Structure 1
Amino acid sequence: MKVLICDEPGKLSVIDRPEPTPGAGEVLVRIRRVGICGTDFHIFQGKHPFLEYPRVMGHELSGTVERAPANSDLKPGQNVYVVPYLSCGRCVACRKGVSNACQNISVLGVHSDGGMAELLCVPVSNVVPIGDTPLNDAAMIEFLAIGAHGVKRGGIGAQDRVLVVGSGPIGMSAIIFAKARGAHVTVMDVREDRLAFTQDQLGADALLVANADAEAKAGSATGGDFFDAVIDCTGNLAAMQRGFGFVGHGGRYVLVSVVRDNLTFSDPEFHKRETTLFASRNAQPDDFAEVVHQMQAGKVPTRALNTHSGPLTAGPELFRDWLRPEAGVIKAILEV
């Protein structure tokens, strides 16, 4: 089978590997679409802190069942999406039902080889039928679920005034699902082109350029109240620390971003506002289901999000092209 492998930072190759054989309780999935994530670009650039090369990337996956265990409900030919988080089922997080925070989690395409391949073996519990959802859309379910999970973590509702910081794909997902819950959503970013997209395509209610005047403008726009909830999706340490100042009294701050560093904030301000701070990691099964539900309800503009596509075998050239800011990539998908 054909596989796209990252041999080392900056080097991708298309190689042949033997077809995998599913073990007990595993499904053999013929991969059809692979969404490209910021994580994949970081792996390609050598910026991912927890990764060993060579690595087959790919964790935003849709495909078709090739072979399934006899005792499962899956049938050959069914279109499916893959949940890429392989949890242990035994640790304290798994026992509490929060397998997204599993102590021993392995993410396909990061900790183990992923789906930039023609075939992949996956535990049956990680394979979900998609019915008539198009394969391109199904390959976007995972990144959308991350935003949906962050919105859920923040307890966002119709009464809330929300600030989403960062208008990359995960930020866009948070916008979509905060809007789906009826919230008033302001988006802040340094890129005015991305801000315009969130208003034109995603229905953002207000925009805020992340310049030196942002706090003053946010205070003026909210009558000095600031925001009931702030959701950070920047992956930028300075932005994450700055975000505390946009949370109103009694508000919530959700960190979807993660950086390999220590965050600092003003403890007097944190206490004065009685801020609630949430981490938001990966996604849970109900978040994936929420994405599918909102897709079927027409609340997710998948065509606008999927800006680029190309064949798996052209991956080495496409990755370099898609990394250029002027390429205007929001979500790129490899076709297998």
Structure 2
Amino acid sequence: MKAAILHGPRNLTVGDVRLSKPSSDWAVVEVGVAGICGTDKAFYTGSYPLFKKPLIPGHEVSGVVVEGPEELLGSRVVSEINFACRKCQVCQAGMYTHCPYKKTLGIDFDGGMAEYFTAPAWALHRHNMPHERAFAAEPLAAVLHMYRMHPPRPGDLVAVLGTGFIAYLSAQVARLLGANVLVISRRGSVKAEMIRAAGFRVVDASEAVEIARSESSLGLGYDMVVEATGSNEGLRTAVDLVRPRGVIHLKSTPGGIASFPQTASVVKEAQVIGSRCGDFRDFRLALSLLSSDRIDVPVSGVYPLDMVREAFERSLERDSFRVLVKP
């Protein structure tokens, strides 16, 4: 089959590879589209080291099952990305996304920027949406998982740092949960205007400080800050903005080392919570929200597999939300 093959930083080719199906309880999925996410971009630029060389990237995938259990054949599906053993103590404790024996789609197991990919049948979720919408189930599930770990309360003042795809999804879900949401962008952000057009207040960090003083319940900062800048600098801003005993959700995975005011976070008694991808509950809710059109899914371009390098370069441009590769 034809696939995008990432060998190292900006060393991305398209070639023929052999598709392997690990066992009989796995399925083969013909890819409809695959989204280029922040982790894919970090692998591509080299800010995040490859765990597998070479790698077929891509885990925001929607496609059609062409081989596997009879009940799935012909179904449109999205895939969870953690392929756990489901036998170890961690899995039995209900933490299968942290299975020490797992493989992760598009991370250390070949992903969906190809004509086909393989996945355990249990990791696939059916849907009836266009692939160009359903691919967002994976990032939306990650956002839902974050809020399930620690949700905002109705009326809470929530600051979302960033204007990327995860930030925009985080803002939308927080609004659905009844929070008072602000999106904090860099000055001159091209994407800020689109987010503002969706009904969100979009401000820069200096304005955000003044708003927190006047609008937060204690006048001491934001009840919750979602750090989704995609950089190592966002945590510093999040600590500055959160109120005492507030919550900071970390969603960025850019690689590198973050520097932040540790003393301030201790003095504030701030909760800093990291969260990763969603589990089956989050995927089911994500698909329900997407199918009911309650979540906006902006796509900045759709590229054929032969133009995957151009797709990645487009995804790095400042006005890009999600770029899709369509085999």
TM-score w.r.t. structure 1 length?
Answer: 0.88
- After superposition, the C-alpha distances for 1:176-228 in whole angstroms (9 at most, x for unaligned) are 11111111111112153322222212x32x222135x6434532443724211
2:294 aligned partner: 299
Instruction: Report % sequence identity.
Output: 26
2:209 aligned partner: 215
- Larger mean CA deviation between 118-127 and 241-250 belongs to 241-250
How far, CA to CA, are the matches of 1:10 and 1:276 in structure 2? Answer: 37
Deviation of 1:166 (Å): 1.4
2:148 aligned partner: 152
How far, CA to CA, are the matches of 1:186 and 1:321 in structure 2? Answer: 27
- Larger mean CA deviation between 97-106 and 36-45 belongs to 97-106
1:75-154 alignment to 2 at 5 Å?
76-130=73-127, 132-154=128-150
How far, CA to CA, are the matches of 2:197 and 2:55 in structure 1? Answer: 37
1:232 aligned partner: 227
Instruction: Look up the equivalent residue of 1:134 and give its one-letter code.
Output: P
- After superposition, the C-alpha distances for 1:233-284 in whole angstroms (9 at most, x for unaligned) are 12333320231222223322211224443654344x4455443231111212
How far, CA to CA, are the matches of 2:53 and 2:21 in structure 1? Answer: 23
Deviation of 1:170 (Å): 0.9
Deviation of 1:91 (Å): 4.6
How far, CA to CA, are the matches of 1:177 and 1:102 in structure 2? Answer: 28
How far, CA to CA, are the matches of 2:189 and 2:203 in structure 1? Answer: 9
In structure 2, the CA distance between the partners of 1:103 and 1:262, relative to structure 1 (3 Å rule), is: farther
2:247 aligned partner: 252
Corresponding position: 1:180 with 2:176: yes
Aligned length: 324
In structure 2, the CA distance between the partners of 1:90 and 1:293, relative to structure 1 (3 Å rule), is: same
Q: Where in structure 1 are there 5+ consecutive unaligned residues? A: none
User: RMSD of aligned C-alpha atoms?
Assistant: 2.2
In structure 2, the CA distance between the partners of 1:225 and 1:101, relative to structure 1 (3 Å rule), is: same
Deviation of 1:30 (Å): 1.0
Secondary structure, counterpart of 2:233 in structure 1: helix
TM-score w.r.t. structure 2 length?
Answer: 0.90
In structure 2, the CA distance between the partners of 1:102 and 1:334, relative to structure 1 (3 Å rule), is: same
How far, CA to CA, are the matches of 1:21 and 1:50 in structure 2? Answer: 22
Secondary structure, counterpart of 1:164 in structure 2: strand
